[in-house]
Amino acid sequence: MLWTALPPFLRANTRPVAAADYWLTSRLRAFVGRNVFNAVLIDRRPEMRAENPVDQMVTALDQGFSLILFPEGKRNTTSDLVLPFKTGLYHVAKARPNVDLVPVWIANLSRIMPKGEIVPLPLLCTVTFGAAMHLDSDEPKERFLERAAEALRALAPKVE
């Protein structure tokens, strides 16, 4: 959803980071993931990885691409606003400390893109961009990940 909300000139230089085990399960998904989204496909099974996921993301950044990264690592199907972040975001931020990390909240995502679907449903959603953040030079991993999660939570629509 975020990728499609970008203007074409940004979309061309933006790559979503996505699970290879999802996007490579069928020929159609593989085509969309590779040829439409130009996704950085990450194998979520450490024992099966041919490449280090952080290296894959850093390589894409070094090639001039922006990334769409889902730091929770999976779809949130719980009542929690945000799941705990995986450490990949921290490792990318540490490897490239000058890269702007922009939190983005997509409201109504679960209804627009139900789990397992490839084509979004024609419903309304909002995409809210937060202020760019960076890893502080001496910031511990746990603190950074919590600060990043809090930046994301701050963008969520307020429930009254």
Specify the range with the lowest mean pLDDT, choosing from 5-14, 26-35, 71-80.
Answer: 71-80
Q: Where are the domains positioned within the chain?
A: 2-153
Assess whether pLDDT exceeds 70 at residue 96: yes
pLDDT of residue 116: 64
Q: How many Å apart are CA 100 and CA 23, to the nearest integer?
A: 27
Contact present, 44 and 65 (Cβ < 8 Å): no
pLDDT digits (tens, 9 = 90+) for 148-159: 999 999 999 886
For the 2-153 domain, the top CATH level (class) is: alpha beta
Q: How many Å apart are CA 114 and CA 110, to the nearest integer?
A: 5
pLDDT of residue 49: 87
Give the HSE-up count for residue 99: Cα atoms under 13 Å, Cβ half-sphere. Answer: 22
Stretch (H or E) spanning 34: none
Assess whether pLDDT exceeds 70 at residue 99: yes
Select from 130, 19, 24, 127 the least CA-distant residue to 72: 19
Give this prediction's pTM: 0.85
Query: Residue 129 — φ and ψ, nearest 5°?
Result: -100, 135
